Each structure stands twice: as structure tokens, then as C-alpha cells.
């Protein structure tokens, strides 16, 4: 089941819950605006690497986007004259989208999803300023406080990176 959410100033419901009640139309099934992402993830600028969640099935999968701007602080040194988004930050962006999927489950609210590892990592194309990075994560296993997700990052349908990500849930 995909959750329908609304954005706006009034957040009387918890992220991941259906409904709205603030009088504004829903942006679409399972979408989260930045204000709602900030209620779920502890990350903040410059390390928040998710701009919007396009699809959300709590505990199962999430699809998010990162609009890569020429003003990103990491481009100052990676690389001057030929800016490329560092691969480890693409991994982190995928992990943050996975964390939204896991932390949207009611019993996980208020917990932290810690990035515990990455396997089968492959970078397929560079990500540069102006790219719209689409991040898709499917949770494939959860046992107690640990789990795994299968992640893909694409730009205009072209695979940029893929990995299996491990996480651990901890009290905040």
C-alpha cells in the first residue's frame, strides 16, 4: 500500500500516515516534501541529500530525488573545473532514502537508521551539476534491529550507481 501524504505548514499527522487535514491537496500517493523528510531524518544541510520522496511504502520501499546543484559544497574540491558528485555521497543519498522507508514504519518512529555497510557497489556514470538523481531503495531483509536494502541511483533513466546497503536501527 502506498501512503498518500500532503505537504504544508500544518503537520498534525505523523510522516508516513495517510491523510492531511490541512486543507491543501495531496501532492500524490506516497510523496513527502522536504518539511516531512526533516521530521523523519536527523540530517541537515549540508549533509541532507534527499530533496523529495516521490513514492513511499513504509517498511518496504521508497523513491526519492536529489537535485544536484552547481552550488553543492563538495564541488569546490571534487573536482575544480570538472565537478563530479563523490560516489560515497551517492551511496549516502541512497541510504537516506532507505532510512525514510524504514523509519516511516510506526514502530520505528523516533529511532535512528545507521548506515552499517555497502556491498556490491557499482558506479556506472558520473553525476554532475544539473542532474536530477533518482534514488530507489527496496528493503529486502530485516531481522531485529538490522536489515538490508537494494538501492539504485539513476539520472534520466540511466543507471548511475547501485549497491546493497546494510543498516542498524538504534534508539535516538
* 43 a catalytic residue: no
DSSP letter at 41 equals -
The answer to whether residues 151 and 101 touch, using CB atoms and an 8 Å cutoff, is: no
With a CB cutoff of 8 Å and minimum separation 6, the contacts of 144 are none
DSSP string, 82-97: S----HHHHHHHHHHH
Q: Of the listed 11, 78, 109, 152, which one is catalytic?
A: 78
- Transcribe 105-161 into DSSP letters: SGGGTTEEEEEEEEEEEEE-S---TT-EEEEEEEEEEEETTEEEEEEEEEETTEEEE
Which residues participate in catalysis according to the annotation? 78
Amino acid at each position: 500500500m502506498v501512503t498518500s501524504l500532503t505537504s504544508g505548514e500544518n503537520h498534525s499527522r505523523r510522516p508516513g500516515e495517510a491523510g492531511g487535514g490541512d486543507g491543501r491537496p495531496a501532492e500524490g500517493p506516497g510523496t513527502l516534501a522536504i518539511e516531512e523528510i526533516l521530521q523523519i531524518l536527523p540530517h541537515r544541510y549540508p549533509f541532507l541529500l534527499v530533496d523529495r520522496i516521490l513514492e513511499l511504502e513504509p517498511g518496504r520501499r521508497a523513491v526519492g530525488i536529489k537535485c544536484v546543484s552547481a552550488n553543492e559544497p563538495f564541488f569546490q574540491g571534487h573536482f575544480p573545473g570538472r565537478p563530479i558528485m563523490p560516489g560515497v555521497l551517492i551511496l549516502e543519498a541512497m541510504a537516506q532514502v532507505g532510512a525514510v522507508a524504514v523509519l516511516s514504519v510506526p514502530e520505528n518512529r523516533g529511532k535512528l537508521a545507521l548506515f552499517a555497510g555497502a556491498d556490491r557497489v557499482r558506479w556506472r556514470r558520473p553525476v554532475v551539476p544539473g542532474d536530477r538523481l533518482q534514488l530507489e531503495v527496496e528493503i529486502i531483509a530485516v531481522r531485529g534491529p538490522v536489515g538490508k536494502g537494494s538501492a539504485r541511483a539513476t539520472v534520466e533513466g540511466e543507471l548511475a550507481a547501485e549497491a546493497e546497503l546494510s543498516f542498524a536501527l538504534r534508539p535516538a
